[in-house]
Amino acid sequence: MQLHRAFLFLFAAVLLFPGCASWFIKGEPPEVLVTNVTPLDATLFEQRLRVDLRVRNPNDFDYHLTGIDFTLNLNGKRLARGLGSKEVTIPRLSDTVMTIDTITSTLDIMRQLLNLSQKQELAYDIKGVLHSTEGRLPFTNAGTLVEPGTFSGSPTGSHVTPQ
């Protein structure tokens, strides 16, 4: 009976621990910021986008990254999913820009454009995993690309007085 329990414990550990590899990674996780999204070519069903991500390493040691998997949302709706397998080393206390080509649905792009109003801010959130030689590093970040009123040419909260 003891042997049976030990085998079950070992089996459970083998299944659970690979998913927890990031628990054992030392230091702070890198910060990932969206710096640019560039539309590339499009077809009737697909739109290619080039996404530039600034990856910051706040630690006193280098990070060797082997890949990235992320989802980029715009105003709460999925814009693109990106995958990249480029290897890059981010020096200690430094940052680098990773450029990832993604493919999204042309229909999703059209929905985003139709829902965009002149008074609405353009907010993004990004969530994903950086793959490193030491394990997986989950990340999440959010920000505002365009402030409300930018498209209309008037500053936010401005008041025009009739004369």
Which position has the higher pLDDT, 35 or 4? 35
Q: Would you say residue 120 has pLDDT above 90?
A: no
Give the lowest-confidence range in 78-82, 106-110, 136-140: 106-110
Mean pLDDT of all residues in the chain? Answer: 78
Instruction: Report all structural domains of the chain as residue ranges with CATH numbers, in order of start.
Output: 27-146 (2.60.40.10)
How confident is the model at residue 3, as a pLDDT? 56
pLDDT in tens, 43-98: 888 999 999 999 999 999 999 999 999 999 988 888 899 999 999 999 999 999 99
Is the torsion defined by CA of 101, 107, 111, 113 positive or negative? positive
Tokens of 8: 């079950």
CA distances from 126 to 47, 82, 104, 115 (A): 19, 10, 15, 20
